[in-house]
Amino acid sequence: MFFIASRRYRQSMPCLIFIVFIFAFFHFWSLNSWNSDIHLYNLMEEFYGEHSAAESSFPDSFCTLEFANANRLQQDHPCVVELIRNFFLHQPAPLEYSLNLSFPAVLDSSSGQSKVILTLLNNQSGAFFVECGALDGEYGSNTLYMERYLQWKGILIEANRELFKEILAKRRHAWSLPVCLSTEPYPTKVQFDANDEAGKIYEPGKDETSVQQENVSNWLIEVQCFPLYSILLAVGQTRVEYFSLDVEGSEIKILVNIPWNHVEIKTLTVEITTRNQRDLHDLTRYMEKQGYENVELMDGPGYYDIVFIKR
C-alpha cells in the first residue's frame, strides 16, 4: 500500500511543480505590472545609490542614441537627458509670435477634456501641461484652450513626423518633440504606425488579421521613444498640472514606468481604446495605488477617457 501511494505521489510531482510555477509566475508578473512599491523604474539611484553621478560618468563620445538604446540607460541618466535636448527638443515659439491656427474661431478644440480638467483645477492659470498624442497641435487638442486663454505652458509629443511638422507650423508656445513615450523604463526605438490620428506603437499580430497587418506596413516608420520622466528632466519641469495621454493602446505600459515619487502630476486624462471593463478596472486600481482618484469616465465614439486627480 505504501509503495503504491509513494509511486502515485512521485507521478504527480511534475504536475504539482508546474502548477506552482505557473501560479508564481503570474503572481510575480501581476505585482511587477501594477504594484508601484516593488516596480523598478530604472533610475540612477537604483543602480549606483547616492553617488550615481560619479559612478556613471563616461566620455561624451559614447553618448549616442545607439549607446543609450543598446545599454538601456536610466531614465535620469545625463546622456539620455542631453540626447533629448540636443536632437529632439524644439523650443516654444516666442510669445510675440501669434498662433497660426487653421480654425481660430474655435475656442475649445477638445471633446470636453479641457473643461473637465479646468473645473477640477478651478480654472488655474499659468500652469503646465504635457500632451502626448498631440496630432497637429490644434485638431482635437486637449491643451490649446489652456495655452490660448490661461497662459499655460507645456510639452507637446507627437511621433508622426508629418503631423509634427504641422505642430511647428502652428507656432504653439510649448516645447515639442517628434518622439513617442517609451513603454519601457529606458530609451527604445520602435516601429510606429503613423496612420494619422490613429497612430500608435506597432505590435505585430496584436488583435489584427493578416490583411490588416499588410495594410499597416504602408504606414510604418521607425521612431525613437523616451520615458516621460526623461523628457520632463530635459525641460527642467517635474510639476505637471495636466497630463493628457492618448497613444492608442500603450497607455498602461507608459504609466507603469513613471517614477511617481519623482514627479508631481495633478490631473490626467487617459484614453482607453477598449470597452473591456477589466482594462478599466486594472488601470483605475493601479492609479489608486499612486494616490489618484478616478473622478469621471468620459464616453467617446469607440473610446473612454478616464479622468484622474491626485488626492
CB 221 within 8 A of CB 190: no
pLDDT at 201: 74
What SS3 state is found at 131?
Answer: strand
Which residue stretches of the chain have pLDDT < 70?
A: 1-39, 50-60, 196-200, 202, 204-218, 275, 302
Q: In this predicted model, what pLDDT tens digit does every residue of 154-166 receive, in sequence order?
A: 999 999 999 999 9
Torsion angle (degrees, nearest 10) of CA 137, 268, 159, 177? 70
Q: Is 157 left (phi over 0), alpha (psi -120 to 50) or beta?
A: beta
Q: In this predicted model, what pLDDT tens digit does every residue of 167-200 receive, in sequence order?
A: 999 999 999 999 999 999 999 999 888 776 666 6
From 307, 222, 302, select the one nearest 267 (Cα to Cα).
307
The pTM for the full model equals 0.83
CB 283 within 8 A of CB 270: yes
Task: Please state the domain extents for the chain.
Answer: 43-310
CATH of 43-310, one of 1.10.260.40, 1.10.10.10, 1.20.120.530, 3.40.50.150: 3.40.50.150
pLDDT at 61: 74
What SS3 state is found at 268?
Answer: strand
Torsion angle (degrees, nearest 10) of CA 189, 35, 273, 171? -50
Q: Up-side HSE of residue 89: CA atoms within 13 Å toward CB?
A: 21
